[in-house]
Amino acid sequence: PGDSYGVLPRPCRALVRLTPQSGAGRALEDFQAVVQPMLAEADIATTVFITERPHHAHEKVRDEDLSQWDTLVVMAGDGLLYEVVNGLMERPDWEDTMKKPLCILPGGSGNALAASINHYAGNDHVAKKKLLTNCTFILCKGLHTQMDLVSLSTASGKRLFSFLGFGWGFISDVDIDSEKYRRLGNARFTLGTLQCLAKLRVYQGRLSSLPA
């Protein structure tokens, strides 16, 4: 229903988390060429924070004052948004902070959430620059709604939060081991799969769940 949606204010202040190495290494270039002009037309002012190392975005959103921003934008793959979500959930004020709208703009090798949002917005299945344009246009319209998160606690006591799903074992190894091939874009996963198949491992674990 229409009343389940919120609307970003105008003018709007957006903090953009961006990883230049995401995908084929064109995230910053695509942001400047495609995203920034569209946001400027929509009266959305941007401040860009460029991540410099793994977990950098996690640490920044966990520790810094975010009150001056109306929305947090992640331009990268699903991995950076995962960092941001978990950083936000570690804040003492997480209940209030998680009410701040989050936006994902596809700029990585894996852009499953952006593709899902594009689908549920009623758009045709597209990829690359067209998907980026569609998702930027969704941000320009300013509509936002709630999204479920998955919570998982490990045997060591660590609690993790995710969207879409969790991966463990072979699938996770492909994702992690293929990091060094990031410049290949989506082809990194194919190469990573072949390498993991060549040195196939045995995984032992136990999955348990608690009643809601």
- Nearest CA to 47 out of 63, 70, 81, 26 is that of 70
| DSSP E strand stretches across the chain | 6-7, 12-18, 44-50, 71-76, 102-106, 143-144, 150-153, 159-162
Alpha carbon 87 to its chain centroid, in Å, reads: 12
Q: Is residue 101 within 8 Å of residue 144, measured between CB atoms? A: yes
Q: Which amino acid is at 163?
A: F
Spot the catalytic one: 43, 63, 70, 78.
78
- Cα 17–21–26 angle (5° rounding)? 90
Q: Residue 87: CB partners within 8 Å, gap ≥ 6?
A: 57, 58, 59, 60, 61, 62
**What number of other Cβ atoms are within 10 A of residue 68's Cβ?**
8
Interatomic CA distance for residues 180 and 178, integer angstroms: 5
- Respond yes or no: is residue 78 known to be catalytic: yes
Catalytic residues: 78
